[in-house]
Amino acid sequence: MTEIKRLVILSGSYPQIRCGVAGHAKLIAERTTALNRFDVHVLTAADKAVDPSLAKGYVVHPTIESFSSFAAGKICQDLLKLDPDIVHIQNPTVKYTGWRSVVMSQVARKLKKLKPNIRLVVM
């Protein structure tokens, strides 16, 4: 019997946030959940537009208050609380472009320092 791995998808958006990444994050969660080999979670923005009820077979955590470069440590803490085996970091498109987009790279570096054996997928 194969051990179920926990996958956490970190995305700045999730439906119904108007952003190209929102639908992509949902699609990754749906398709990965359908494999029946992963416990899937989506960690995303604490935005009123996020609709966790759209998740079927996985859990959405709309808890991230900030995606500023100063928030990387807090985002890592939130990720590690979910005890992931694999983290899929979905880089932002329209909603978080410019200087704020560096936070995803900072999160990846910090995660590898805090939990060296964690597997990262960065898109």
Helix (H, G, I), strand (E, B) or coil at 77: helix
**Nearest-5° Cα angle at 90, 106 to 111:** 35
What CA–CA distances, in Å, run from 16 to 24, 55, 58, 68, 76? 12, 12, 17, 21, 24
Q: What is the DSSP letter of 47?
A: -
Cβ atoms 79, 43 nearer than 8 A: yes
Eight-state DSSP code of residue 88? E
pLDDT, tens only, 47-59: 999 999 999 999 9
- Give pLDDT tens digits for 6-36: 999 999 889 998 877 889 999 999 999 999 9
CATH topology of domain 5-122: Rossmann fold (3.40.50)
- In terms of Cβ atoms closer than 10 Å to its own Cβ (0-12, 13-18, 19+), residue 30 is middle
Q: Kindly report whether the global pTM for this prediction surpasses the value 0.75.
A: yes
Examine the pLDDT at 95 and tell me if it is beyond 60.
no
